Amino acid sequence: MLMETGLKKSVDLPQEALLASLMSSIGEYLPDEQLSQVSKAYDLASDAHAGQYRLSGEDYICHPVSVALILSEMKMDVDCIMAAIMHDVLEDTEVSFEEMAESFNAEVAGLVEGVSKLTKINFKSRAEAQAENMRKMFLAMAKDLRVIIIKLADRLHNMRTIGVMKPESRRRIAKETLDIYAPIAHRLGMHEYRLELEDLSFEAIFPRRRKILADHIRKARGNRKEIIETIDRALTTRFTETAFPGKLYGREKNLYSIYRKMKRMPFSEVYDVYAFRLIVETTDQCYQALGVLHQLYKPLPGKFKDYIALPKTNGYQSLHTVLVGPFGVPIELQIRSSEMDHVAESGIAAHWLYKSDGAANDIQLKAHEWLRNLLETQKGSGDSFEFIDNLKVDLFPKEIFVFSPKGQIVKLPKGATAVDFAFAVHTGVGMTCAGVKINRQMEPLHTVLRNGQTVDIMTSDFAVCNPNWLNFVVTNKARNAIRNHLKEFKERDAIALGGQLLNAELKSLGMCFDDIEPERISEYLSQQRISSVDALLIDLGFGNRLPLLVAQQLISEDGADETMIDIAKGQQSTATLNIRGAEGMLINLATCCRPIYDDKVIGFFSPGRGVVVHRIHCKNTREYKRKHKNWLNVQWADNSDGGFSSDIKLILVEDKGVLAQIAGLLSESDCNIENVKLGQPQEGTSSHVITISVRNRKHLARVMRRLHNIESVLKIERVRN
């Protein structure tokens, strides 16, 4: 029985031997004129890295040649091999992009630039630099998928040689590999890369656990030998009897996979599964072989998966089944054609062809589709950290398959809802979805979908994107589309509020915005490095700039001097903002004191939130005045909106039906009960806080007087904080 082997390793070969191995490997499939180009790339990289050494003490050039050797084992094209040899040249040496493009071609230089880090930018932290580098790499991947293949080979060789690094650095790099690079290799179908990256990371993070687990497997392997031989003999005999062409392999689970499963079950149960792989010639023979196996051993119900008819997103195709073998042991079997096996091991790198017409194989097309979705994600991400979080979610999908009314298959991650389906069909469908039929039955939009369901989205021109959808959507496409929609609304609110604040300050100074010369406004925007008037108003609306300071700078001929700036920062705004209530997203009524119409109020700028309105006697205002200078006068507009929330505290005698009596009176008084906090009875009385909706202070006073007339109400007061 044959056992699977990993990628060939090239860790400890000296520089000359590495180069000889590389030239021998690429000589098997590249013409002589391309071999000379590779030699030229080596000469440039060797000269550029002269005097540079790795932590192990070897010449630095050994690393990029080892990366190129890994890629040569996958028969990558000459541009990719050259880019691998020079992949650190732009980052670590004086060679420029233009020089490299002139010496070779723009495609090779573009690949090297895509792999290189962002060394010219100063980042606040290592985490920020790593996140932005990852984002840049994915943008480069969208132009050329070979960028990620080179990067994965680079990371693989770094992991093979990570032993010379400090333990803290080893763990950090290994964790990043497990979180990002191994899942990317899996997502692109590069099975061998993934397995080795996982095992090397496991060894770097938990060396002792890996050693103990490896020792246990070595001991258990001897006890399994007889059962494996029995199963292997039975399977081989059956296929020989049927004259069926096929090769049977035993599959050894990798250590990290066993370790992960041990978190859910004991080692004995994990290792008590015997895994085999059958390789045949054609797709038809895969299904024929399945019938032969099911006649030999009984299959376990619910364990059959057909990834040939429904391939995984990374292009993986195979039949999976679990049989009950001799002695009742479970046997996991994968059945695939030789071509499917090649794709399963190498994924996107299988049959790498760059044709003159730009054609690519199916796996590359699937990878490009995934990258297009990632690009949509990065456009909607606020920063690199958000992009990386979204990427991690996207890299760990458990897929389901549902159908459109026309029979089109749509792949979604497990846990996806009807709204996720709507956005998967088209962003416009998601934005206007109003209802859903699942298997011809009306269901709520938050319904979690299951395999095989038919989903029919109903749209309406009057439907609007609901912020509450963010509570249950799981796909990045849906989440980012909703966030972008809300962001646009928030920016519109910010522009309106910023305009009000600025005009109010200018009015207090005897001016208005229209009185200021356009040239002065342009000059001010240029001085402050603000792109547009809207951008200025957004900053004001979000509370990121003081309206008083901006107003004084705008009306000053030479801008506000330092003294004026200090005064502006230290004084209360003399302007007054008129409000009607909780307007849009950027004027918020504080929940600590719950101001209502006719209360004396004051406003504070809260960066990112806009203006937060408090009652003037709220105890939190003292803290704001002490710590923050960005507060302003606020007054209620004549046409204030109704429906303000207010908390009232009631101390009651514990009489039967008193709460029902209170609820009835509130209903008669045109009040809605929003919340009730019931207190524990003490000595025949109890204290409760009820949140009610009122129109203004007069309405609240009338309600409180009526409640006080109830015999069981001992005391009633409005909650201040």
Partners of residue 672 on adjacent β-strands? 693
220-to-258, 326, 432 alpha-carbon distances in Å: 13, 18, 58
The answer to whether 11 and 66 have CB atoms below 8 angstroms apart is: yes
- Alpha carbon distance 407, 455 (integer Å): 10
The rounded distance, in Å, linking the Cα atoms of 194 and 197 is 5
Name the amino acid, one letter, at 232: D
Identify the residue whose tokens are 């007069």: 698
Terminal CA-CA length for the chain:
76
Cα 31 to Cα 26: distance, rounded to the nearest angstrom: 9
**Residue 89 and residue 377: Cα distance in Å, rounded?**
31
Q: At a CB cut-off of 8 Å and minimum separation 6, what does 71 contact?
A: 80, 81, 84, 149, 150, 153
* DSSP state string for 7-40: ----SS--HHHHHHHHHHHHTTTS-HHHHHHHHH
What's the chain's length in residues? 721
Name residues whose C-beta falls within 8 Å of residue 210's C-beta, 6 or more positions apart in sequence.
199, 202, 203, 255, 259
- What is d(CA 547, CA 566) in angstroms, rounded to the nearest whole number? 14
253 contacts 216 by C-beta, under 8 angstroms:
no
Active-site amino acid positions: 91-92
Question: What DSSP line would sit under 118-143, residue for residue?
Answer: -TTS--SSHHHHHHHHHHHHHHHHHH
**Strand, helix or coil at 1?**
coil
CA angle 280, 282, 285 (to 5 degrees): 70
Residue entry with tokens 């001929």: 557
Cβ neighbors of 100 (< 8 A, separation 6 or more) are: 44, 86, 89, 90, 108, 109, 112
Residue 74, token pair as written in the block: 């996958």
Q: Residue 589: helix, strand or coil by DSSP?
A: strand
Q: Answer yes or no: are the C-beta atoms of 320 and 334 closer than 8 Å.
A: yes
CA 691, CA 671: separation in Å to the nearest integer? 10
Q: Using an 8 Å Cβ cutoff, are 449 and 418 in contact?
A: yes
DSSP 252: P
Judging by beta carbons within 10 Å of its beta carbon (0-12, 13-18, 19+), is residue 72 exposed, middle or buried? buried
Q: Name which of 477, 394, 363 is nearest 183 in CA terms.
A: 394
